[in-house]
Structure 1
Amino acid sequence: MRNFILFLFSITIIITNNLYSQNNKKLDSEIASFLDTLKPETFSGIILVGKNDSILEERTYGYSNIENKIKIDKSTKFHIASITKSFTAVGILKLYEQGKVDLNKPIGNYIENYPNQRVLDSVTIHQLLTHTAGTKAIYGEDYQKSNKDRYRELEDYLPLFANDSLNFQPGSKYEYNGGGFVLLGLIIQNVTGENYYDYLQKSIFDPIGMDQTKALEIDGVNYNTADGYSIYLREDKSLAKNDYLISKASGASGYYSTAEDLFKFSKTLRNYGLLNKGTTELMLKPKVKCYNTHLGYGIDIDKRYEETIIGHSGGWYGIRCEWMDFSDSNYTVIILSNFDNNGQQEVSDFFKTKISRKLEVK
């Protein structure tokens, strides 16, 4: 009798594995078919689909420079906007692992010569990482009207928000902003004695081979980067270049990267290659409820689907991007676009609903 039960159990496992394999092959085929249907008129950029730490699909569409008809290729670097925040968060959490920062102490322990003493006395690293500090946004009207050549170092962004009062009592609510991640970058500099950009290069990008991820100088010679094109800069909604709205990375936004580099970042983070297991789990644990999802430390945690999706999105004039890591099925999707039409969002929605069906709201 016991042998018969073991036999039935074995048969069940085999059938289950076969069904799982067939379903996976069907999904992979549906993904390929969807990517075949995309046209440069509706989506301009690159889409990478990873599975079990290997690249399953990588497709390019459209031009990195429309005027000169330069096609996007797999090595094209895209502005990744707020995905930059995840780099900054990992940088801070490395210092936490080393015992060099306390996430719950006032940031005045790590920053000096800052004009707003209340911020130093009442705001913590935890609050900066979770957008609950009450700091101001930085990419508003003052930034848009300013000369972007002035932003060479993190400190150059401080006049955009450092003298302003906090929007609310720290820790009392969630409000997405960029100023807090500039402060996190300054903490990295003050604690390590290194330039923020050099620290990320040495501690994150170089060790895992993210060779194409850079904080580019806007007046430098930057090869194979995608120019951004926006439909929101002209009244007639015709495409316009966004170059006068771009500056060097701030800690909150502005890095350039490739789809393959972001895939390296995603799989290394998931496999505890950037942070140890305990710190990675701390980063990925939901801390606050934000607009539609939850937030960990510098990372979105989307629980609206049958499996949790972690990652980050980014957007600006002429920029749309998203990194998604599906926790159960081991798919990773990187979407980088140099158009700000709805193309990226439609691609994102396809993958979220195809890989992990959206849960019904009760």
Structure 2
Amino acid sequence: MKKILLIASILILGLKSFSQESLANVDILIEDLLKKTQVAGISISVSKQGNLIYSQGFGFSDVKNKTEMAPTSRIRTASLAKVITATALGKLATDGKLDFDTPLKEYITFLKEPYASLTTRQIAGHTAGVQHRPASKKTKNKHFVEVKETLSFFEGTTLLFEPGTDYKYSSLGYNLLSILIEEVSGKRYTDFMKEDIFVPLGMTQTMPDNASVFTENDAKLYYLQGGKLKQEKKIEDGSYKLAGAGFRSTSVDMVKMMNAYSNGFISKEVVKDMFKSNRLLNGEVTNVGIGWRMNKDINNISTIEHAGNWQGARTVIIYYPDSELSISVMINTKCTLFIEESTQIIAQYFLNKDQKQEDIGTFSKTLKIINNRSGGSIENYTGKLEFIDTKKGALHIETDRSWLKQNNVYPLPSKNNFTLSTSYGLLYLRMNLNPKLEGELFQYQVLSDTYHMNQKPMLYIKEK
């Protein structure tokens, strides 16, 4: 109860700059997202300039017992663990103990080639050529007490390519970084994370995942199969990939972590270096720095982010450096969800508090819709857009693609910007309502151009 009261008091201070109507619109949108995606629960927290300004839970952390999701409910981080580990690397660099471009062998004297010559930057940025996962699936059933035990995964293996010549996402590489942290700090990885990262940053609910221990504060794990929500029965042990995917945390703790990048915990120079894209030997940029990914939102505003997807979890943390806005969404369900797009959409309510959508009114308009398929083919549909009030509309499309047939449309707090709430998450819908309705629907999860509005829209929408 004390914890809830403390969060409530912090929120009261932070919410003064946001209207109750705007926050209510966020609640409505996320409730729709919960219903449409059919996930068990959603935890979301937002902070700005170090202040918690929004923190809510939706749905359930435990469906059977009707335990409501809270922003303080612990959920598996999945790959958000990588940026948790990256934060530790940034702290060590700030303290002058670690250089991102020094070969690991200078710190880990017992590490063998070819891994000894790799650098922190290459491993954290996934250009080292380390395989993604251990070769043996038996690792998922074993609990590793010490991170050094996982060095056995590297025995008899080699790199996938010459470091710096390609990009290959690797969770296994972060095992090497956890050992690096131990050797540089002189502490066990888990002790350093708790004493030097979690405690100073106030991340009181963040800890290593333990498949055999679940408290009332730990959300149950779920997955979607054939459109039905099911609970995980056999829990995978994540200790084999602790630094890359194996923590539990809360959306509140994740936005607290982001304070490290603006309050001096990590120096400005190191932050700048961490948020700088790696470049391959051929000059190609990867849009990935020290763990963090570079992206841009619907208004071409730069973001720093990372997402996660693992058994019983879909997660993301997004940071807007220019406004010091952080937003974390954690879902206790493994699912196919455009979580980066969805979270950027939600962020618009907190970035554009002084802007207002034009008066939409009520209307019903028949549409001609063009679908640009990924293979280059085009499909033509008819449809209808209806707004029965100014806060919510519905887009109906005559198509055999069930997820596009009927979805709610919500105006965002800036002119001509809307979102379509689908079973795969929130998508950006840019529409000009006058003199005749014209619009474009974007889906931009995996594209090389970080400003995704430069890409061809998924749908073109025109009033007949």
Q: Quickly name the TM-score band, shorter chain normalised.
A: 0.7 to 0.9
Decide which moves more: 181-190 or 56-65. Answer: 56-65
Q: CA deviation at 1:27?
A: 5.8
Q: What percent identity do the matched residue pairs reach?
A: 24
Partner of 1:126: 121
Partner of 2:332: 338
Distance 1:146 1:36, change over 3 A: closer
2:114 counterpart SS class: helix
Partner of 2:454: 361
Q: Pick the aligned partner of 1:170 from 160, 163, 168.
A: 163
Distance 1:65 1:344, change over 3 A: farther
Query: Number of paired residues?
Result: 334
1:360 counterpart SS class: helix
* 2:236 matches 1:245: yes
Letter in 2 for 1:176: Y
Letter in 1 for 2:38: T
Q: CA deviation at 1:319?
A: 1.0
Deviation per residue, 1:218-253 (Å, 9 max, x gap): 334544111221236xx8965240643232362111
Letter in 2 for 1:246: D
Deviation per residue, 1:93-139 (Å, 9 max, x gap): 3222333233222211122333x42221x31111112111111112x
TM-score, normalised to structure 1, is 0.81
2:291 counterpart SS class: coil
Decide which moves more: 69-78 or 162-171. Answer: 69-78
Distance 1:33 1:238, change over 3 A: closer
Distance 1:288 1:79, change over 3 A: farther
Q: CA deviation at 1:330?
A: 4.2
Q: Pick the aligned partner of 1:272 from 253, 263, 275.
A: 263
Partner of 1:9: none
Distance 1:46 1:185, change over 3 A: same
User: What residue ranges of structure 2 are gaps of 5+ in the alignment?
Assistant: 1-15, 353-416, 418-450, 456-464
Decide which moves more: 33-42 or 314-323. Answer: 33-42
2:79 counterpart SS class: helix
Deviation per residue, 1:126-157 (Å, 9 max, x gap): 1112111111112x6623x4453332221233
- 2:306 and 2:318 in contact (8 A); partners too: yes
Tell me how far apart the structure 1 counterparts of residues 161 and 307 of structure 2 sit (CA, whole Å).
25
Decide which moves more: 81-90 or 214-223. Answer: 214-223
Tell me how far apart the structure 2 counterparts of residues 313 and 213 of structure 1 sit (CA, whole Å).
17
Partner of 1:54: 51
TM-score, normalised to structure 2, is 0.64
Q: CA deviation at 1:75?
A: 2.2
Tell me how far apart the structure 1 counterparts of residues 322 and 25 of structure 2 sit (CA, whole Å).
19
Tell me how far apart the structure 1 counterparts of residues 261 and 96 of structure 2 sit (CA, whole Å).
22
- 1:64 and 1:225 in contact (8 A); partners too: yes
Distance 1:237 1:167, change over 3 A: farther
Letter in 1 for 2:307: S
Decide which moves more: 78-87 or 98-107. Answer: 98-107
Return the structure number with greater strand share.
Answer: 2
Q: CA deviation at 1:52?
A: 4.0
- 2:201 and 2:260 in contact (8 A); partners too: no
Deviation per residue, 1:142-176 (Å, 9 max, x gap): 23x44533322212333334431100001111111
Partner of 2:190: 197
Partner of 2:305: 311
Q: CA deviation at 1:295?
A: 1.1
Partner of 1:63: 60
> After superposition, where does 1:92-131 map in structure 2 within 5 Å?
92-114=89-111, 116-120=112-116, 122-131=117-126
Distance 1:101 1:49, change over 3 A: closer
Q: CA deviation at 1:76?
A: 0.9
- 1:89 and 1:297 in contact (8 A); partners too: yes
Return the structure number with greater helix share.
Answer: 1
> After superposition, where does 1:75-86 map in structure 2 within 5 Å?
75-86=72-83
- 1:293 and 1:304 in contact (8 A); partners too: no
Deviation per residue, 1:41-95 (Å, 9 max, x gap): 6342212233443333322122222333332223211101111111211222322
Tell me how far apart the structure 2 counterparts of residues 59 and 106 of structure 1 sit (CA, whole Å).
43
- 2:178 and 2:243 in contact (8 A); partners too: yes
Tell me how far apart the structure 2 counterparts of residues 132 and 302 of structure 1 sit (CA, whole Å).
18
Distance 1:347 1:42, change over 3 A: farther
Tell me how far apart the structure 2 counterparts of residues 133 and 188 of structure 1 sit (CA, whole Å).
18
Q: CA deviation at 1:206?
A: 0.6
User: What residue ranges of structure 1 are gaps of 5+ in the alignment?
Assistant: 1-20
- 1:136 and 1:161 in contact (8 A); partners too: no
Distance 1:24 1:75, change over 3 A: closer
Partner of 1:74: 71
Tell me how far apart the structure 2 counterparts of residues 239 and 221 of structure 1 sit (CA, whole Å).
18
Q: Pick the aligned partner of 2:275 from 280, 284, 289.
A: 284
1:294 counterpart SS class: coil
- 1:337 and 1:344 in contact (8 A); partners too: no
- 2:140 and 2:236 in contact (8 A); partners too: no
- 1:293 and 1:303 in contact (8 A); partners too: no
Tell me how far apart the structure 1 counterparts of residues 233 and 276 of structure 2 sit (CA, whole Å).
36
* 2:203 matches 1:207: no
Tell me how far apart the structure 2 counterparts of residues 22 and 215 of structure 1 sit (CA, whole Å).
36
Partner of 1:8: none
- 2:75 and 2:249 in contact (8 A); partners too: yes
Partner of 2:346: 351
Letter in 2 for 1:126: R
Distance 1:99 1:164, change over 3 A: same
